[in-house]
Chains A and B, each alone.
Chain A
Amino acid sequence: MILTNIESVPGKNIVEHYGVVSGSTVRAKHLGRDFMASLKNIVGGELKGYTELLQDSRAQAVERMTEQAKQFGANAVVNIRFATSSVAQGASELYVYGTAVRVE
């Protein structure tokens, strides 16, 4: 599965469009991590736990999107966009979407 965030796959031609595919996941962090983060808030700096958590969830969202694209019979997803929103206190939604296509 080829993923790009431009309109085409360089060096290949798009032969068929399958429409929009998307994947999303809502994640909350657990209490221990939250406590560590609030301590880290005093001294500042990178919150490694959060970075990891968001990376994991984003990978899962991408996984769900490619799964959907596979079901359509696509072999590439072009023009991918990422979006993040906080839906509730302490939880955020990661959303990824793109256009499923077949390239040759």
Chain B
Amino acid sequence: MDQLIFLIILVGVGYTAGTIAEKRHYKSIEKRENKFLKLSVVTLKDAFDKESPILRTRLVQGSAVISIDYFKRILAGLRNIVGGEVKSYETLVDRARREATLRMKEMAWDADIILNLRIETSAIGNSANRKKTIGSIEAIAYGTAITYKK
């Protein structure tokens, strides 16, 4: 009985805090994404302007580790029984990737274009070696930033 109450408390805290944190995170992601609308990021390797002289070429990268809340973890566990789309994990990886890409752009604030964007994801933390419970994931985004001579 005690354990059940403890579990319900964990789920409750996870649900309220997790939902608020996620909404706030999405709001900040959207705000910062709008700020960097002019900086184009491509997965091509030769999309830069070959006519204009280049001031600087450098590697830029950004990463973020995002963890899922307790409520969603249980929800995903239930989802495993019937199968289908697991929405709660979709937002987790989406947030991690967008945050990583944003940090990369922040590192390349003076660049004109970022070439050959690569995004990688890996499960880290205690649960990394246990397949069943994915707790937190790391997303890393990297690319080559090019700045033209003005």
- Tell me the interface secondary structure of chain A in the complex: mixed
Asked if A20 is an interface residue, CB under 8 A from chain B, the answer is no
Q: Is the pair A42, B69 in contact by a Cβ cutoff of 8 Å?
A: yes
B17: chain A residues at CB < 8 Å are: 42-44
Q: Is the pair A5, B123 in contact by a Cβ cutoff of 8 Å?
A: no
Asked if A50 is an interface residue, CB under 8 A from chain B, the answer is yes
B21: chain A residues at CB < 8 Å are: 43-45
The answer, among B18, B59, B123, B146, for a CB contact under 8 Å with A10, is B146
Contact digits for B126-141, partner A, Cβ 8 Å, 1 yes 0 no = 1011000001101010
| A38 shortest CB reach to chain B, Å | 7
A13: chain B residues at CB < 8 Å are: none
Query: Interface size bucket, B side?
Result: 35 or more
| B124 shortest CB reach to chain A, Å | 6
Q: Is the pair B67, A45 in contact by a Cβ cutoff of 8 Å?
A: yes
The answer, among A7, A42, A45, A89, for a CB contact under 8 Å with B10, is A42
Q: Is the pair B122, A84 in contact by a Cβ cutoff of 8 Å?
A: yes
Report the bound CA distance from A6 to B58 in whole Å: 11
Asked if A47 is an interface residue, CB under 8 A from chain B, the answer is yes
Contact digits for A8-32, partner B, Cβ 8 Å, 1 yes 0 no = 0111000000000000000000000
Q: Is the pair A51, B63 in contact by a Cβ cutoff of 8 Å?
A: yes
The answer, among B69, B123, B124, for a CB contact under 8 Å with A43, is B69
The answer, among A50, A84, A90, for a CB contact under 8 Å with B136, is A50
**Top 8 closest A-B pairs, CB basis?**
A44-B69, A43-B17, A11-B54, A3-B59, A86-B128, A50-B65, A44-B18, A84-B122
Interface residues of B (CB under 8 A from A): 10, 13-14, 17-18, 21-22, 25, 45-46, 48, 50, 53-54, 57-59, 61, 63-70, 72, 99, 115-116, 118, 120, 122-126, 128-129, 135-136, 138, 140, 142-144, 146
Interface residues of A (CB under 8 A from B): 2-7, 9-11, 34, 37-38, 40-47, 50-51, 54-55, 58, 80-86, 88-90, 92
Q: A37-B67, A46-B66, A92-B124 are in contact. List 10 more A-B contacts (CB 8 A).
A: A4-B57, A5-B142, A44-B17, A51-B138, A54-B138, A58-B63, A82-B61, A82-B118, A83-B120, A90-B126
